[in-house]
Amino acid sequence: MILESKPGNEWELGCRELEWGGTDDERNDDVIFGSVYIPPENTRYSSSDSFREIENDILEYSSRYKYVCLAGDFNSRTSIDLDHVSSEDNDFDDILIESSIFEENSLHIPDNLTCPTTRENMDKTKNNYGNLLLDLCRYTGVYIVNGRIGDNITGKLTSKNAATVDYFLATPDLLNIISNSDVLHFSNLFSDAHCPLDISININTTICTCYACNPRTDIQPKKEQIKKWNLAKADEFNEYLDLAKIETIDNALDLLTDDHVNLNNINDTVKNIGDMFVNAAKHTFGTYNPKKPDKRTYNAQKEKSNKPWFDNECRQKRKNTRRTQRLYKLCKSEENKRIKNQSEKEYKKTLNKCIQKYRIEMRNKMKNMKTKTQRNIEITKW
């Protein structure tokens, strides 16, 4: 799953067993994201306790935050069964009376949703993990987004074009502000079997104007810069200080009393002092115009930021892959899809080959260093 923050009023999401993440500030209106992977059932790594642990985490976070969601590979097939307790269904009355999991009127939450209470799913099969996931939704009050909203209202398949095992779950408050959901086209680069999930969330944004959030919004780029301080010119700097301005500032400070001090007076005085020092520095040390960054230097820095194993072959494969992806985006034909998938496979194969080659080279270097060190020790002893 990939979380991408976009300018404006939308966030997009594309795709231990559960990792949680959120913002640094703990506020009730924060969005808390959980990334999930549950191993397939009937494997050596599978455990039904996974759902119980996730359930406890959801209950804990949903008691503190309005917007809680989970996304990932649940390996659960749920068909089109209800993921909530219907207000017309009394099968869970005994459980609800004995349990404190549900709040008052929680049974009627589906009636207040802005999306359908039922969901679609092209995968009509259901397995044991699917039942556990549906029970988790009923007990915690979260809902499956797949098959309910936007471009994925049909409940598209997410794995090998044969099953739906990847889900996005959300609390009712979050579900009401999701504007779109979709299952993106399969890419060999990111997975061997799964398609990415894409979610758009409408949020109310408040633009903060403080310096911490926008450190350079009120600062205009300066064409002219003052040269660095030179201690040898300290006396010359003192001579360039405007004595008349110093006297004016001194008189202004004398007039500032407790009854006449305000923010404007202080700001004006500080600005006058700063301007006086800046003018003296310009005359003493001189100025210069910053040069634009050299394109060759920029490219060298860009090359340096690449991984050590990322060579020219990787760059060519990446370039070709991006070209075929753009071509498929413009024209979604079967031929373009085949070319895109083939280029992605070749790119991934090249990456794996270069990584493996780099690891072997590093391993050999370490062995050679060890051999040379032992040889030097033996010579020293001799």
pLDDT digit string, tens, across residues 166-197: 999 999 989 989 999 999 988 888 888 899 99
Looking at the structure, do residues 119 and 260 belong to the same domain, yes or no?
no
Looking at residue 10, what is its pLDDT?
Answer: 40
CA dihedral 361, 366, 372, 373 (to 10 degrees): 170
As a whole number of angstroms, the distance between CA 5 and CA 39 comes to 29
Looking at the structure, do residues 150 and 278 belong to the same domain, yes or no?
no
Looking at the structure, do residues 263 and 132 belong to the same domain, yes or no?
no
The structure tokens listed for 186 are: 């399969």
Q: Interior CA angle at 248 toward 242 and 249, to 5°? A: 90
- Report the length, in residues, of the chain: 382
Strand residue runs (E) in 46-177: 67-73, 143-144, 166-170
Looking at the structure, do residues 355 and 268 belong to the same domain, yes or no?
no
315 lies in which domain range? 295-381
Looking at the structure, do residues 166 and 49 belong to the same domain, yes or no?
yes
Looking at residue 185, what is its pLDDT?
Answer: 87
Looking at residue 31, what is its pLDDT?
Answer: 83
AA letter at 98: E
AA letter at 297: T
CB 123 within 8 A of CB 79: yes
C-alpha dist (Å) from residue 63 to 103, 230, 257, 312, 352: 10, 61, 53, 52, 44
- What average pLDDT score do residues 331-350 get? 90
- What average pLDDT score do residues 12-34 get? 59
The structure tokens listed for 256 are: 């500032």
Looking at residue 125, what is its pLDDT?
Answer: 94
Looking at the structure, do residues 143 and 47 belong to the same domain, yes or no?
yes
Looking at the structure, do residues 319 and 346 belong to the same domain, yes or no?
yes
Select the highest-mean-pLDDT range: 17-21, 223-227, 312-316. 312-316
Select the highest-mean-pLDDT range: 11-15, 306-310, 346-350, 367-371. 346-350
Looking at the structure, do residues 186 and 162 belong to the same domain, yes or no?
yes
Q: Which residues contact 274 (CB under 8 A, 6 or more apart)?
A: none
Last-in-domain residue among 241, 265, 288 = 288
Confidence band for 215, pLDDT divided at 50, 70 and 90: low
Looking at residue 62, what is its pLDDT?
Answer: 87
Q: How far is CA 38 from the centre of its chain?
A: 22
**pLDDT higher for 304 or 319?**
319
pLDDT in tens, 119-132: 999 999 999 999 99
Last-in-domain residue among 244, 272, 288 = 288
Q: Which residues of 235-260 are buried (b: 16+ CB within 10 A; e: fewer)?
A: eebeebeeeeeeeebeeeeeeeeeee
Looking at the structure, do residues 358 and 259 belong to the same domain, yes or no?
no
Does residue 207 belong to any structural domain of this protein?
no
Looking at the structure, do residues 90 and 236 belong to the same domain, yes or no?
no
CATH no. for residue 136?
3.60.10
- Residue-averaged pLDDT of the chain: 79
Looking at the structure, do residues 154 and 230 belong to the same domain, yes or no?
no
Does residue 219 belong to any structural domain of this protein?
no
